[in-house]
Amino acid sequence: MAGRDEIELIRERADMLEIVSRYVNLKKAGKNYIGLCPFHQDKTPSFTVNPDKKLFHCFGCNEGGDIFQFLMKIERIDFSEALARLAAQTGVPIRRERASPLQKLKELNERVCVYFQTNLVSPAGQRARDYLKQRGFSQEIIEKFRLGYALARWDDLVKRFSDSLEALETLGLALRTKDGSPYDRFRDRVIFPIWSPTGEIIGFAGRSLSDEEPKYLNISNTPLFEKGTVLYGLNFARHAVRDSQTLVIVEGYTDVISAHQAGIENVVAGMGTALTINQAHLIRRYASRVILAYDCDAAGRAATLRGMANLRNVELDVFVALLPIDHDPDSFVRAHGREAFLQILHRAVPFHEFYLQSLLEDHPVETVVGKEKILQNVREFLPTLASMAVRYEIIRELGRVLNLPEEDVARAVKSGKRVGIMAAPGVGEPAWGPEEHLLYFVLQRDLPLSQLRAQLDIQDFTRYPEIARVLWELGDEWTVEQVLDRLSAEDQGVVRRLLLSQPPWRESDRGRAREEALARMRRERVARRLARLREEVRAAEQAGDRERVWQLQEELVQLLQGGRR
């Protein structure tokens, strides 16, 4: 198996323009070259190549990637064959081994898993055992999910498997310092192995036992593991799905484990905020109906809605289970038990009802401004739904709650024009909202991350939380490969689009567009905090906690005054 350096060298040396031109007639357009896309029926040239960034992207069908991915897709070959061909063309020598390289990696993962499990039962694993016990996990469930522990040392794994150092790096388990010495990625963390649907270990995640951020650490993409294509626990859950055809989707690893411990086994986790279209296809192979059981905060977020749209678009029946405020499935099962959780699942509401309910909770329907906000939200969301029937269902429900005729709602949803320099998107182009603008400026290296981080938080990026999280993690030293490597296929598409896009303003408006996007994000952030505070005031009032009400109202006033400044 070729190492990362060899792959990097081949990517560097390969003449992307020359190779792509063998299949596509390319014309120069600014810094890019464009042509008719070979991967879909293309009438306008949507296929874009940028030889400097060594990327291609289709604005019509969202295919994209580097030269390896181009060859794999157009010639329908696997990675090792694309590698062999490009190695021959660029004259980069690669080493070859006899056994299947992927098989070797899986075997190493298996050995590493046993190593982590052994750590957990060793004297050094006491704190990890205490943590798992305090979470209420039984010995039996710990063994079923093969939980382990990474020691609080810098190089224990690296030393133990020193004969397989390169493979450890490929698997994302070892990293290197600037001067090249290897060290363990997971330190002082409880380890969750991640399986393929057929039960092979394809990666690991670790939960911090100290204050080290992030709380949950995942490996980046490897030959075995690609973000956004995996569902945690599916290897167990797929057997339980057969009768009911229903899969329950939760957010975190511990949600899955708690549910299984309570005997509810058709439960998996998406391992990220938004479910991707790849995950939706995977689910479709096993189930016809899904119930999303997220905590209240997560369920309402825009990113989650995008995931729900993906599920709907592969014709899954989608329901949303409503958990009480302050509960996730893990804490709920532990506090109230199996029967209560089954009741919650039983009372799950259809997706379109949930969507409208959450809109009505966020915006007062009695006011004109509230109505306009609701219509605008629906206007942006509807195009992401492929099903006419579901779109119609939403319009009809909306007409009912807004007390407007359906035709008027349909027209209002269709005709909305946005004003200012943030124009409405054309077909296949990114919708240029404030998040797209800011990510565009960061990716074009026109806005230092440090400056963005000084003004906004990851949580402010509700459309692209994963992209924001990755950029935050990498800091100002990021490279395009590092960013793409850590993202799901869908988010990779977003990043490529923004890297190769023409923004919707004139060059002379560049500075103004950047300031406007920053200002709009800050305003939306204040609006979200206001909504949350109002919610808390209502809860405190219901609980009769007067002191808390006063305190919250004071915060509310301060926020309102600050927001107007």
Residue 147 · residue 191 · CB < 8 Å = yes
* Residues 36, 550: Cα–Cα separation, whole Å: 62
Q: Which of 240, 246, 335 is nearest to 293 (CA)?
A: 246
Shortest reach from residue 69's CB to Zn ion, in Å: 13
Q: How far is the CB of 494 from Zn ion (least distance, A)?
A: 16
Q: Minimum Å distance from CB 501 to Zn ion?
A: 15
Q: Which is nearer to Zn ion, 37 or 344 (CB)?
A: 37
The structure tokens listed for 399 are: 């007409």
Backbone angles phi, psi at 110, to 5 degrees: -60, -45
Closest CB to Zn ion among residues 59, 461: 59
C-alpha closest to that of 247 among 263, 261, 231:
231
DSSP for 190-259, written as a single string: EEEEEE-TTS-EEEEEEEESSSPSPSEEE----SS--TTS--BTHHHHHHHHHHH-EEEEESSHHHHHHH
61/533 with CB nearer Zn ion: 61
User: Applying CB under 5 A, which residues contact Zn ion?
Assistant: 37, 39-40, 58, 60-61
Paired residues of 191 in beta bridges: 148, 206
CA angle (388, 389, 391) in 5-degree steps: 65
How much of the chain is in helix, strand and coil states, percent to nearest 5?
55, 10, 35
Smallest separation (angstroms) from Zn ion to the CB of 292: 31
Q: Which is nearer to Zn ion, 12 or 75 (CB)?
A: 75
Q: Identify the sign of the CA torsion 116, 118, 121, 123.
A: negative
Nearer to Zn ion, 35 or 270 (CB): 35
* Coil vs helix vs strand at 178: coil
Best CA proximity match to 194, nearest among 134, 85, 112, 120: 112
22-25, long-range: CB within 8 Å, 24+ apart, which pairs? 23/74
Q: How far is the CB of 307 from Zn ion (least distance, A)?
A: 23
**CA 336 to each of CA 115, 273, 331: distance values in angstroms, whole numbers, following the listed order:** 35, 25, 8
User: What is the closest distance, in whole angstroms, from the C-beta atom of residue 18 to Zn ion in the complex?
Assistant: 21
* Closer to Zn ion by Cβ: residue 370 or 428: 428
Among the residues of 347-488, which ranges form H helices? 351-362, 368-381, 388-402, 406-415, 434-443, 449-455, 465-474, 480-485
When the beta carbons of 73 and 373 are compared against Zn ion, the nearer one is: 73
Choose between 37 and 202: whose C-beta lies nearer to Zn ion: 37
Least separation in angstroms between residue 36's CB and Zn ion is 9
Task: CB nearer to Zn ion: give 37 or 230.
Answer: 37
**Of the two residues 9 and 61, which places its CB atom closer to Zn ion in the complex?**
61
Radius of gyration of the chain from its Cα atoms, rounded to whole angstroms: 25
Compute the residue count for the chain. Answer: 565
Least distance from Zn ion to the Cβ atom of residue 250, Å = 35
Cβ at position 38, least distance to Zn ion in Å: 8
Q: Which of 257, 194, 190 is nearest to 222 (CA)?
A: 194
| Closest approach of Zn ion to the CB of residue 410, in Å | 30
CB of residue 276 to Zn ion, shortest distance in Å: 19
Name which of 39 and 68 has its Cβ closer to Zn ion: 39
Residue 37 DSSP code: -
Q: How far is the CB of 46 from Zn ion (least distance, A)?
A: 6
Task: Using the minimum distance from each CB to Zn ion, give the nearer residue, 56 or 116.
Answer: 56
**Nearer of residues 39 and 472 to Zn ion, judged by Cβ:** 39
278 vs 285: CA distance, rounded Å? 11
Read off φ and ψ for residue 538, nearest 5 degrees: -60, -45
For residue 34, the minimal CB distance to Zn ion (Å) is 11
Which structure tokens are listed for 137?
Answer: 């996990």
